Structure 1
Amino acid sequence: MGTVSNNLEVIDGFKSPGELNRFERWLQREVDAGCAVEVDVKNYYAGENFKERWFYFKEIDSVWRLVCPDGPFHGYWGAV
């Protein structure tokens, strides 16, 4: 099993589609390594019309949400 960094940081808006793509690739590696598990969304950050995914990080016992950009909203990554 891999190790997730204990210092996950909030992303309050992705600067470009490329930044979001790089972030999603990192997130998938965390899932593949067993550091994170995707879980069901319990309540939406910006409404049900936005693509949102939640991830539980076992090592730090914390759930984080990824809300994908949908202009003019630039997306969000942060603890639930």
Structure 2
Amino acid sequence: MNNKLEEIDDFQSMNEFNRFEKWIENEVTLGSAVEISVLNYYAGINFKERWFKFIEAGSTWRLVYPDGPFHGYWGAV
């Protein structure tokens, strides 16, 4: 597994989430990750969710957007 990837059980603020979202989008731009289709929702279809496959690590991770009182989630699928 890529050593940059650690589970985030909930984001402490929208600022933290926004910084994280910029980081993941940069990983896609650099080619180290690709966005793939969501196959099984973490918190239901009413929550915005994106999946990313990390090329080198071969692992797939999900980003679930905050939607109060839920603070979001980042973790391995």
Tell me the TM-score range normalised by the shorter chain. Answer: over 0.9
**Structure 1 moving runs of 4+ over 4 Å:** none
User: What is the aligned-residue identity percentage?
Assistant: 68
Cα distance per residue 1:21-56 (max 9 Å; x no partner): 000110011000000000000000000000000000
Q: Give the superposition deviation at 1:6.
A: 1.6
Is 1:35 equivalent to 2:32 in the alignment? yes
**Alpha-carbon distance in 2 for matches of 1:60, 1:6:** 5
User: 2:38 corresponds to which letter in structure 1?
Assistant: V
Aligned residues: 76
Cα distance per residue 1:2-25 (max 9 Å; x no partner): xxx822100000011100000011
**Alpha-carbon distance in 2 for matches of 1:53, 1:59:** 19
**Alpha-carbon distance in 1 for matches of 2:51, 2:2:** 17
Give the alignment's TM-score, normalised by structure 1. Answer: 0.92
Structure 2 partner of 1:6: 2
Give the alignment's TM-score, normalised by structure 2. Answer: 0.96
What stretches of structure 1 of length at least 5 have no aligned partner? none
Task: State the superposition RMSD in angstroms.
Answer: 1.0
**Alpha-carbon distance in 2 for matches of 1:53, 1:43:** 11
**Which of 17, 22, 28 is 1:25 aligned to?**
22
